[in-house]
Amino acid sequence: MTRKPLRACRALALATVLVLAAAPASAQSPGDIEAALKAAYSKYKDLKEGANADYIPALAKVDSNIYGIAVVTTDGKVYTVGDVTSEVSIQSISKVFTMARVMEEQGPQAIAENMGVDATGQVFNSIVAVEQYKGGEMNAMVNPGAITATSMIKGATAEEIWKTILGTYSDFAGRPLSVNQEVYKSEAETNQRNQAIAMLMYAYGHIKADPLRACDVYTRQCSVSVNAKDLAVMAATLANGGKNPVTGKQVMKAENVPEVLAVMATAGLYDDSGKWLFTTGLPAKSGVGGGILAVSPGKFGIAAIAPPLDKSGNSVKAQKAIADVSNALGGNPYAPKPK
Ligand code: DON
């Protein structure tokens, strides 16, 4: 071989490496993403399974037909289908971002040590789960761990703590979010079980401040209003190492993201988390408002909203739609290709 072709080969190899390095984080083309969204949307549009949550009376009144899906890639491109402007309350999805904030303030170990990072195998508001290990050996995705995480946010007053929480969520979503007052009032009037859980977590020494104040701030955080696009941007911020890919703001340290995703993978869909991970491989979080968000690390965030829930409290359509879209786009981080 003469020197010239060898140089040409090297140049070609270098160019290939550069092209691969410059390839967008999601290997899928915009057309692929749009096609996957459209297919999942029409496949489940008329599905009538499940029912709105009604243990919080205001949630029973939400339009059951809201159905939208959004994907936001780590290079900041937004793809949507269906209704992505109607808002629902964020509910338990908020738990992810409060936990993330506690990790920012005190490090991931503070979460692991105070409420644990293991699945409970029980429903999200289980008192048995608290009793089993005196409030330890659980996680921040179920109510006892989540109310405890809220109590750990730094601030002298409830208002100061609330400002930090709402500011954090807004940074993740890339726009100022606000509370749905009707949902807040409805849950505050009916949250005696969560108050009891907060008291128990206080009695076992996990909550160190006023437990009823923690429960009230938690109730407010659950009432924050979001649409499917907001949730997808929040998920994409986690997928992008804590930097919001739409606004460019570093919202949390990249080094804390793996611990956030680990707890989501373990317990994000409650007692159905194993089934979910088996189907999609994605760290995710559901809320009884009907939203679910999921993270394909380094690739994209995805979210769907559809209020009717299954028996575990997870949106029926959102689970199916996210699984289909992510699997079509190669989103599963546990699916390496053989070399
Ligand atoms: O504390 C509650 O019961 C609600 N604010 C949140 C529960 C929830 O979203 C569970 N999700 N699947």
Per-residue confidence band for 270, with pLDDT thresholds at 50, 70 and 90: confident
In the chain, the domains with their CATH numbers are 26-329 (3.40.710.10)
Q: Which atom of ligand 1 is nearest to the CA of 289?
A: 9
Q: Which atom of ligand 1 is nearest to the CA of 194?
A: 1
Question: What is the best residue among 55, 95, 222 to mutate for testing ligand 1's pocket, by most ligand atoms within 8 Å of CB?
Answer: 222
Q: How far is the CA of 193 from the centre of ligand 1 (A)?
A: 12
87-101: average pLDDT: 98
Q: What is the DSSP string of 40-84?
A: HHHHHTT---SB---SSHHHHTS-TT--EEEEEETT--EEEEE--
Per-residue confidence band for 276, with pLDDT thresholds at 50, 70 and 90: very high
Q: Is 87's pLDDT higher than 70?
A: yes
Cα 35 from chain centre: 24
Listed range (10-19, 194-203, 250-259, 323-332) with the worst mean pLDDT: 10-19
Q: Locate 202 and state its tokens.
A: 């206080």
Q: Is 8's pLDDT higher than 90?
A: no
Question: What is the best residue among 91, 122, 148 to mutate for testing ligand 1's pocket, by most ligand atoms within 8 Å of CB?
Answer: 91
Q: How far is the CA of 5 from the centre of ligand 1 (A)?
A: 64
The protein residue with its alpha carbon nearest to ligand 1, atom 8, reads 92
Listed range (25-29, 61-65, 314-318) with the worst mean pLDDT: 25-29
Q: Is 23's pLDDT higher than 70?
A: no
Phi, psi of 27 (to 5 degrees): -75, -5
- Contacts by 184-189 with C-beta closer than 8 Å and gap 24+? 184/219, 184/220, 184/223, 185/58, 186/56, 186/57, 186/58, 186/59, 187/56, 187/58, 187/219, 187/222, 187/223, 188/216, 188/219
Nearest alpha carbon to residue 296 among 339, 328, 255, 337: 328
Q: How far is the CA of 324 from the centre of ligand 1 (A)?
A: 25
Question: 290 CB less than 6 Å from ligand 1?
Answer: no
| pLDDT value for 332 | 98
pTM of the predicted structure, to 2 decimals: 0.92
| pLDDT value for 27 | 63
pLDDT digits (tens, 9 = 90+) for 206-243: 999 999 999 999 999 999 999 999 999 999 999 999 99
Q: Percent of the chain having pLDDT more than 70?
A: 92
Q: How far is the CA of 92 from the centre of ligand 1 (A)?
A: 5
Nearest alpha carbon to residue 331 among 282, 259, 279: 282
Nearest alpha carbon to residue 71 among 111, 24, 37: 37
The protein residue with its alpha carbon nearest to ligand 1, atom 4, reads 91
Question: 184 CB less than 6 Å from ligand 1?
Answer: no
Residues 6+ apart with CB under 8 A from 71: 33, 37, 78, 79, 80, 232, 300, 301, 302, 325, 329
Q: How far is the CA of 334 from the centre of ligand 1 (A)?
A: 28
Q: How far is the CA of 204 from the centre of ligand 1 (A)?
A: 22
Question: What is the best residue among 124, 191, 220 to mutate for testing ligand 1's pocket, by most ligand atoms within 8 Å of CB?
Answer: 124
Question: 194 CB less than 6 Å from ligand 1?
Answer: yes
85-106: average pLDDT: 98
